[in-house]
Copies of this chain bind each other. A is one copy, B any other.
Amino acid sequence: MGQFKAADTGYEARVRDSFSRQKFMATIGAELLSVEPGEVEILVPHREELCQQHGLFHGGVIGTIADNACGYAAYSLMQPQNSVLTVEYKLNIMSPAKGEALIARAHVVRPGRRVSVCQADIYVVRLDEEKLCATALGTFITLENTSDHSLDSAAA
Contact = CB atoms under 8 A, between A and B. Distances in A.
Most B Cβ at <10 Å: residue of A49, A53, A54, A114 = A53
A49 B48 CA distance: 17
Q: Please classify how large the interface on chain A is, using the bins under 10, 10 to 19, 20 to 34, 35 or more.
A: 35 or more
Nearest to A156: B55
A100 interface: no
A139 B92 contact: yes
Contacts of A96: 155
Interface of A: 18, 21-24, 26-28, 48-56, 58-61, 63-65, 67-68, 85-96, 98, 109-110, 112, 114-115, 117, 119, 132, 135, 137, 139, 141, 148, 151-152, 154-156
The 10 closest A-B pairs by CB, nearest first: A60-B64, A24-B58, A54-B155, A21-B53, A90-B90, A63-B63, A88-B92, A94-B110, A27-B49, A137-B137
